[in-house]
Structure 1
Amino acid sequence: MRRHIFLAGMLLMACVGSVEAATGEPLIDPEWKATENSMKSAEISQCKHLSLAQGFACKRHVREDYEARGVVPGTMPYVQKRYGGMSVQQLDDEIRQINRTYGRARMIGSYDHPLPGEITYDMQQDTVNYLRQLVNSKGGMPPLMDLRGSR
């Protein structure tokens, strides 16, 4: 009996936690939203008369083109274009700033879809990883995750 009550309590906490996480305000970037809309319109215009398999390949090609231009957050070309001219100290500050917003970004699973212009947790994590690579390439030492600033 105790085990059933315990399991019911755990299930209730899991449901409340997932609802709480889902109702948090997503992190929306207007620049990424405009880029995403542009990318979708390019997909529609370039891929509309293709078969299913060709359509998927066409959409992948359109996304790769946008990634290569450095306008998709969470990619190395984006980090190089946006942060490439910064000093090691400025890059460290950017890493700290992104680390402070981790709590606002949603983790998008296989059932959820990001909202238009939403910066997801994975995009932030990838951006920080690429920023650390950029710091290393400039001869600096990237900062560790600062947990004191996120509270």
Structure 2
Amino acid sequence: MKKILLSFSITLCLSQQAFAQTAPFIDAAWRSSNLSMRSEEATRCVRMAIIRKLHCRADIRKEYEARGLVPGTEQYIQKNYGGMSIAQINNVIRKINSEYLPKVRNVDSEQAVPGEITRPILEADMGFLEHLINLKGGQPNPFDQFMKGK
């Protein structure tokens, strides 16, 4: 009986987690870029064999990434956050952790609606933000204040 009750409670918790992530989190700028990218794919990659079509779609995505229009890429982070100080970038990371991560769905890009910010995108953004902090000299050493006395 205990095993049944335990499995039921685990299932209930998991189903609540699944229901909590049903509404997509849409970013207006990414939606515009995403729809533009899909429109370009529809015109440029029409009547191609499947492999050529996949290469065509990848080339278009690379063009948009190079312009910094695709979230979850280093170019996007450099374009939008490159001019910020380390303290400002830390605030962005805190905001992502507290406000955005709880709201986004954990789906891959094929299942996402146009303009949807997903968990993998935010995780990639956070990784590139941390990389940007390192490029700017990194976080100050917390032990420096203790080492000054020696």
Bigger radius of gyration:
2
Q: Does 1:49 align with 2:47?
A: yes
> Structure 1 residue runs of 4+, over 4 Å off?
none
Match of 1:28 in 2: 26
Structure 1: gaps spanning 5 or more residues: 143-151
Farther-moved stretch of structure 1 (33-42 vs 98-107)? 98-107
Q: Could you tell me how far apart the structure 2 residues matched to 1:85 and 1:7 are?
A: 51
- Counterpart residue type for residue 107 of structure 1: N
- Counterpart residue type for residue 44 of structure 1: A
Q: How many residues align?
A: 139
Pairing of 1:31-110 with structure 2 (within 5 A): 31-100=29-98, 101-108=100-107
1:92-144, Cα deviation, whole Å (9 max, x unpaired): 1111111112101110159x7112211001111110110111011111318xx
Q: Could you tell me how far apart the structure 2 residues matched to 1:117 and 1:133 are?
A: 25
With the length of structure 2 as denominator, give the TM-score of the two structures: 0.82
With the length of structure 1 as denominator, give the TM-score of the two structures: 0.81
- Decide whether the 8 Å contact of 2:108 with 2:120 is kept in 1: no
The percentage of aligned residue pairs carrying the same residue is: 37
Structure 2: gaps spanning 5 or more residues: 141-150
- Counterpart residue type for residue 75 of structure 1: T
Report the alpha carbon displacement of residue 15 of structure 1 after superposing the two structures with TM: 5.9
Match of 2:133 in 1: 135
Q: CA RMSD in A?
A: 2.2
The alpha-carbon distance between structure 1 residues 31 and 107, as it changes in their structure 2 partners (threshold 3 A), is: same
